[in-house]
Structure 1
Amino acid sequence: MTAPVYIVLGAGPGLGLSTARRFAEAGHRVVLLGQSVERAQPLADQLVAEGYAADVDAVDLLDEADVRRAVAAAGERHGRIDVLHFNPSAWRERTVLELTVAELLEDVAFGAGALLPALQAAAPVMPAGGRVLVTGSAAADTPWSGAPTLGVQKAAVRNLVTSIDATMKERGVRAVAMQVNGMLAKEGPFGPDAVAAALFAAATRPDEGWTAHVSYNG
């Protein structure tokens, strides 16, 4: 049996790295998909230095073909994808009096739409018991007017997870969006390690009583 594989889109030095480490601690091989190899490689190097297996690739989340390529390549390298973690979001400080339709749609494509090609590329190598995990935000319910696209992204991806879970459960794969009801911080209950532990718990629940949405209140 090969080790289970955890792949994260939107890998960064904060929550993305902490969540990858938590899955690595549980025996998963980690694949970090970031904006560039140059940015993601130091994160993988850090995990490797800690004794974990990790590799990286670059992905353009606004390029559907590139998302498919990166996820499919990870599946081909390792033969399976057990956890597909969708972590990105776009932050754009423009009020609704300034925001253009093109900007809104670009941010939704980045923070929600890219999940579709990622899922479609991962699905052929996701075994029963696999999980689709999405980092959600209270912005879905209480958006800040200064950056309204974030709330639209988080509401859209939360809604999408409902359909993903209903579709994928026939294959034994479940999906969950964990809504983080607080501002991410450097430490404390909303620090990266605490939120990562909650994401891990949300994804590793048994199928019995499964819900596609959970909240983390710190």
Structure 2
Amino acid sequence: MTTFALVGAGPGLGLATARRFGAAGHTVALVSRSAAHLEELAAELARDNVQAQGFAADVLDPASLTAALRTASDALGPIEILQYSPVPRPDFMQPVLDTSADDLEAPLAFSVKGPVTCVNAALPGMRALGRGTLLFVNGGSAVRPHPDRAGTSIAFAAESAYARMLHDALAPENIHAAQLIIPGAIRPDAEHSSPDVLAQRLYDIHHKRDGFRHYAEPVPD
């Protein structure tokens, strides 16, 4: 049995994706800052017969991320699928003319150092398995920068570049890196961007392995 590791576990998309991959037979490692929150999510998944366990870590703290993913692999089995989809903080989204160099430290740590740390922790296990999937989830500013959301626009673009390079570099090793762009809000009643629809989309990206960038719906002008 292999593990689906979800970095940025939450009650919306995160829970839906954990449930979908768990239904496919994977154990689930839930990673977020709050241990109590993780216990609640794991208990909810257990009611759906999904084996899940929480591992507390802060995506802005590389050491805690590395420790959490290594502990998860030891406890639940090797990580075959890694999803990086934490929600950015509101203060990352300031107007570009009000953004200083210091204001970019946290967004870049969140969207660049965090993913790099997670990938480096998960890759040895994927290589040992001979397969793996790296899923990166971003908002529309990753492909269309928004002047009122400078931090995420800059940081998501950097994350996109990193993920694209992984896609090319790891393909010969049967490790698939892919990105899902979600341009708007995730809502239960959304046709293309509800948690359940997006969870199935992410599972399909993992299963079909057909290209790097995918869109939940068209990016608005």
Shift, 1:170, TM fit: 3.0
Alpha-carbon displacement from aligned partner over 1:161-208 (angstroms, at most 9, x marks no partner): 1111222223221110111233322322211111111111112114xx
Matched, 1:205 2:203: no
Correspondence 1:37-186 to 2 at 5 A: 37-90=35-88, 91-92=90-91, 93-126=93-126, 127-186=129-188
Q: Percent identity?
A: 26
| Count of residue pairs brought into register by the alignment | 213
Alpha-carbon displacement from aligned partner over 1:47-106 (angstroms, at most 9, x marks no partner): 001211000011111111111111111112233111010002423242223322122121
Which residue in the other structure is 2:28 paired with? 30
Matched, 1:194 2:192: no
Q: Please tell me whether the aligned partners of residues 134 and 178 of structure 1 are also in contact (alpha carbons under 8 angstroms).
A: yes
Q: Please tell me whether the aligned partners of residues 29 and 76 of structure 2 are also in contact (alpha carbons under 8 angstroms).
A: no
C-alpha distance in 1, partners of 2:96/2:131?
42
* Structure 1 outlier segments of 4+, above 3 Å: none
Structure 2 length-normalised TM = 0.89
Structure 2 gap ranges (5+): none
Q: Please tell me whether the aligned partners of residues 2 and 77 of structure 2 are also in contact (alpha carbons under 8 angstroms).
A: no
- One-letter identity of the residue aligned with 2:106: E
Q: Please tell me whether the aligned partners of residues 142 and 153 of structure 2 are also in contact (alpha carbons under 8 angstroms).
A: yes
C-alpha distance in 1, partners of 2:77/2:41?
23
Stretch of structure 1 that moved more, 175-184 or 32-41: 175-184
Shift, 1:37, TM fit: 0.8
Q: Please tell me whether the aligned partners of residues 89 and 111 of structure 1 are also in contact (alpha carbons under 8 angstroms).
A: no
C-alpha distance in 1, partners of 2:18/2:53?
11
Alpha-carbon displacement from aligned partner over 1:122-164 (angstroms, at most 9, x marks no partner): 1111122310011122111333333221222222211111111
Q: Please tell me whether the aligned partners of residues 16 and 196 of structure 2 are also in contact (alpha carbons under 8 angstroms).
A: yes
Structure 1 length-normalised TM = 0.91
Secondary structure of 1:109 counterpart: helix
Correspondence 1:16-27 to 2 at 5 A: 16-27=14-25
C-alpha distance in 2, partners of 1:169/1:76?
26
Q: Please tell me whether the aligned partners of residues 89 and 110 of structure 1 are also in contact (alpha carbons under 8 angstroms).
A: no
Shift, 1:43, TM fit: 0.8
- One-letter identity of the residue aligned with 2:28: V
Q: Please tell me whether the aligned partners of residues 89 and 153 of structure 1 are also in contact (alpha carbons under 8 angstroms).
A: no
C-alpha distance in 2, partners of 1:70/1:103?
27
Which structure is higher in helix share? Answer: 2
